[in-house]
Amino acid sequence: MPLLGEKFPELEVKTTQGMMKLPDDFKGKWMVFFSHPGDFTPVCTTEFVAFQKRYDQFKELNAELIGLSVDQVPAHIKWIQWIKENLGVEIQFPIIGDELARVAKTLGIIHPAKGTNTVRAVFIVDPQGIIRAILYYPQEIGRNMDEILRMLKAFQTADANHVSIPADWPNNEIMGDEVILPLPQDIKSAEERMNQPNCYDWWLCHKKL
């Protein structure tokens, strides 16, 4: 299975919006690739509605969504029709049909104890096609979409400013919405930080962007 920091595998996939090449078709954008155990299942249905409700927020962060399960594309189509007719939500992002589990096996997301079901996983891939985060959830617990959005914002903030992001940012218990400065690379720089008001110690300094 691919690891953090590695290139997302090159895949040609069949989706509800036609054939696509990954990650090439999302080049220059962040890709949120997520798998779900199966169509017409309760938790997955709530997740798809939640993803769609936040789709504009993902787009504002230059990110695109793409889903996958080991169901066939016609099953995906019927399911998203059901969601629209019964829940009033139109799913606008593509869903990969992977009935032979080719893509799922490449990504290592076949559930080991549930036959051919796919793991509830998320891959956050940056505009260069590099995997930046991998999240796994059990079948009985749905994902927190706001956390995925928070991670995208955090990655983009960290990349643009060469900083690190504290826990629960932007509502950290110690430093609020501020970010963490990189560690000093020499003794002189470390000593200069000792008396600075934005430092708890030379290795724990923060600033407001």
Q: Helix, strand, or coil here: 97?
A: strand
44 is catalytic: yes
The CATH number for 198's domain is 3.30.1020.10
How far apart are the C-alpha atoms of 112 and 170, rounded to whole Å?
36
Spot the catalytic one: 22, 31, 43, 44: 44
Is position 190 within any domain?
yes
Q: Are residues 133 and 197 in the same domain?
A: no
pLDDT at 110: 86
pLDDT at 41: 94
Angle at which helix 145-161 crosses helix 42-53, to 10 degrees, equals 40
pLDDT at 114: 62
User: In what order do the strands lie in the sheet containing 30-35?
Assistant: 18-22, 11-15, 95-97, 63-69, 30-35, 120-125, 131-137
The CATH number for 70's domain is 3.40.30.10
The full DSSP string for 112-145 is: TTSTTPBPEEEEEE-TTSBEEEEEEE-TTS---H
Is position 4 within any domain?
no
Kindly report the number of other CB atoms within 10 A of residue 123's CB atom: 22
Q: Considering its fold, how many domains does the chain have in total?
A: 2
pTM of whole model > 0.85? Answer: yes
Q: Are residues 132 and 191 in the same domain?
A: no
Tell me, what amino acid is at 72? Answer: Q
Q: Are residues 105 and 208 in the same domain?
A: no
Q: Supply the range of the domain harboring residue 172.
A: 162-209
Q: Are residues 102 and 185 in the same domain?
A: no
Angle at which helix 73-87 crosses helix 42-53, to 10 degrees, equals 70
pLDDT at 111: 72
Is position 5 within any domain?
no
The one-digit pLDDT tens for each residue of the chain (209 residues) are: 899 999 999 999 999 999 999 999 999 999 999 999 999 999 999 999 999 999 999 999 999 999 999 999 999 999 999 999 999 999 999 999 999 889 999 999 987 766 667 889 999 999 999 999 999 998 899 999 999 999 999 999 999 999 999 999 999 999 999 999 999 999 999 999 998 999 999 999 999 99
Q: Are residues 120 and 46 in the same domain?
A: yes
Q: Are residues 32 and 84 in the same domain?
A: yes
pLDDT at 113: 67
Is position 200 within any domain?
yes
